[in-house]
């Protein structure tokens, strides 16, 4: 059993804290908000993440997991301090490191015994060295410490599973021994550890996210070519993905990526590359293709309904992907904004993200079900592929709409079936129908 402090109780911090406690360690999670702490002790989580509530409750009851706003309490016995705070985009696309800086300063001022500072936040290359500089500058006692970069690869929606079943653990440090001590924490997970230097570990995270974003932008570009030439991108992705060198994941064509990681990480990597004399032209294309996909949905809709003024458009799904309530850089935000800008009334439904969406988008009608969204709508746009949208009574949906227009932004429906039911149906890159019309 090790004593661990985790700073930040978001998707990464809370999952890391709860899962490390579940592996038998004693973990104190620090955050700045007393109400959040009080809620966590009652099993009320600040985020929606399947399965996490149970892990938190189990470990809190077993007294392996605690929550505090006090750095003194959190650091009292800590041998490891995990920094898992947010690193959002700054105004120029750079990573905003103010939260990491604050956390490092606060830790430094209270260091009384040797610790390993483990950086879990996704940070630009060189941040580990910078955190070490901050600690050296602010520490009041002459105690040794080491910074280890340990980027996180979990996915929202399956974060607990991903943390417990990692493909690899990446660790970077100037001192291999410190990286190995962090690797010991993960030993029960039996995943290979890749131990390298600080900067390389930081780069592995950015490169991984940039590659996955590239894969999605790539298939979206293929979808657009398919659409022009009458091929079906779903079949193309199936054919490509069966090749083990390519693999089937991240080959779903649609409205593109969003969320709290890909947009800011690709931007931050492009920014740091450009400011260090590199010319990240592929990363820029990856971002351009992605943002164009959102506009493509509007264009598809425009081709059918001609204009949006006075029209009611229903939106199915708001979160940036299924199984999360995360609305950060969700494609729905930009699509809804474009529709409203051109005069549409928008109605929307999402199984879990509506509370978060309400704080970002106030002037739309939030509905209690997909059927309420469809009622009297001039068109329906599916943006997030929640499972519950795959099983809808589409005849009921069709009958309640003013015009039976369906834009399937994630290619979840069968085009032929939708057409047979009577929808004017459009998907993303699924070729042509018998009359040469795009599907």
Q: Which residues are catalytic?
A: 261
Residues in binding contact with ligand NAD, number by CB under 6 A: 24
Q: Residue 84 or residue 251: which is nearer to ligand NAD going by CB?
A: 84
Residue 241 CB, shortest distance to ligand NAD, in Å, is 23
Helix (H) or strand (E) holding 314, with range, is strand 312-316
Residue 46 CB, shortest distance to ligand NAD, in Å, is 7
Residue 369 CB, shortest distance to ligand NAD, in Å, is 28
Helix (H) or strand (E) holding 108, with range, is helix 98-109
CA pseudo-torsion sign 251, 159, 194, 128: positive
Q: Does position 121 bind ligand NAD by CB under 6 A?
A: yes
Residue 430 CB, shortest distance to ligand NAD, in Å, is 29
Residue 435 token pair: 């009359």
- Binding letters toward ligand NAD, positions 202-241, x by CB under 6 A: ----------------------------------------
| 19, 65, 78, 85: which one binds ligand NAD (CB under 6 A) | 85
**Is 300 within 8 Å of 227 (Cβ atoms)?**
no
Q: Residue 123 or residue 418: which is nearer to ligand NAD going by CB?
A: 123
Q: Residue 106 or residue 200: which is nearer to ligand NAD going by CB?
A: 106
For residue 320, count other CB atoms closer than 10 A to its CB: 27
Q: Does position 149 bind ligand NAD by CB under 6 A?
A: no
SS3 state at 139 = coil
Q: Does position 128 bind ligand NAD by CB under 6 A?
A: no
Q: Does position 9 bind ligand NAD by CB under 6 A?
A: yes
SS3 state at 347 = strand
Between CA 96 and CA 314 the distance in angstroms is 35
Q: Residue 83 or residue 346: which is nearer to ligand NAD going by CB?
A: 83
| 220, 260, 290, 411: which one binds ligand NAD (CB under 6 A) | 260
Between CA 146 and CA 139 the distance in angstroms is 13
Between CA 159 and CA 321 the distance in angstroms is 13
Q: Is 361 exposed, middle or buried (0-12, 13-18, 19+ CB in 10 A)?
A: buried
Which one of 25-33, 352-360, 371-379, 412-420 is the stretch in contact with ligand NAD (CB under 6 A)?
Answer: 25-33
Q: Residue 85 or residue 383: which is nearer to ligand NAD going by CB?
A: 85
Contacts of 72 (CB under 8 A, 6+ apart): 110
Between CA 197 and CA 26 the distance in angstroms is 28
Q: Which residues bind ligand NAD (CB under 6 A)?
A: 7-13, 30-32, 84-87, 99, 102-103, 121-122, 152, 154, 156, 260-261
């Amino acid at each position: 059993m090790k004593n661990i402090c985790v700073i930040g109780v978001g998707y990464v911090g809370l999952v890391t804290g709860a899962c490390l406690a579940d592996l038998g360690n004693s973990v104190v999670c620090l955050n700045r908000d007393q109400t959040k702490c009080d809620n966590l002790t009652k099993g009320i989580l600040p985020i929606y993440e399947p399965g996490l509530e149970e892990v938190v409750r189990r470990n809190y009851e077993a007294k392996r997991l605690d929550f505090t706003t006090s750095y003194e309490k959190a650091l009292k016995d800590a041998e490891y301090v995990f920094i898992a705070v947010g690193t959002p985009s700054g105004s120029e696309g750079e990573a905003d490191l103010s939260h990491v800086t604050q956390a490092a300063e606060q830790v430094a001022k209270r260091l009384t015994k040797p610790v390993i500072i483990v950086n879990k936040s996704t940070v630009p290359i060189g941040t580990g060295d910078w955190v070490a500089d901050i600690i050296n500058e602010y520490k009041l006692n002459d105690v040794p410490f080491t910074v280890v970069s340990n980027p996180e690869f979990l996915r929202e929606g399956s974060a607990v599973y991903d943390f417990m079943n990692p493909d690899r653990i990446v660790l970077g440090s100037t001192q291999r021994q410190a990286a190995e001590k962090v690797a010991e924490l993960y030993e029960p997970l039996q995943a290979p550890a890749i131990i390298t230097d600080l900067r390389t570990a930081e780069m592995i995270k950015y490169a991984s996210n940039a590659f996955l974003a590239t894969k999605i932008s790539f298939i979206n570009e293929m979808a657009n070519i398919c659409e022009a030439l009458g091929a079906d991108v779903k079949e193309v992705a199936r054919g490509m993905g069966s090749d083990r060198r390519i693999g089937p994941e991240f080959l779903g064509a649609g409205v593109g990526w969003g969320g709290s990681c890909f947009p800011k990480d690709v931007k931050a990597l492009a920014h740091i590359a450009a400011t260090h004399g590199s010319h990240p032209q592929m990363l820029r294309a990856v971002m351009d293709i992605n943002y164009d996909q959102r506009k493509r949905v509007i264009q598809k809709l425009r081709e059918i309904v001609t204009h949006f003024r006075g029209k009611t458009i229903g939106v199915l799904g708001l979160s940036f992907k299924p199984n999360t309530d995360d609305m950060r850089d969700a494609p729905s935000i930009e699509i809804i904004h474009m529709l409203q800008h051109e005069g549409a009334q928008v109605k929307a439904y999402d199984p879990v993200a509506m509370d978060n969406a309400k704080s970002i988008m106030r002037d739309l009608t939030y509905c209690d079900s997909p059927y309420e969204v469809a009622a009297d709508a001039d068109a329906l746009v599916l943006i997030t592929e929640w499972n519950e949208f795959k099983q809808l009574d589409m005849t009921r949906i069709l009958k309640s709409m003013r015009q039976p227009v369906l834009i399937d932004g994630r290619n979840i429906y069968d085009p032929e079936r939708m057409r047979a039911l009577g929808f004017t149906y459009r998907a993303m890159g699924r070729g042509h129908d018998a009359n040469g019309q795009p599907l």
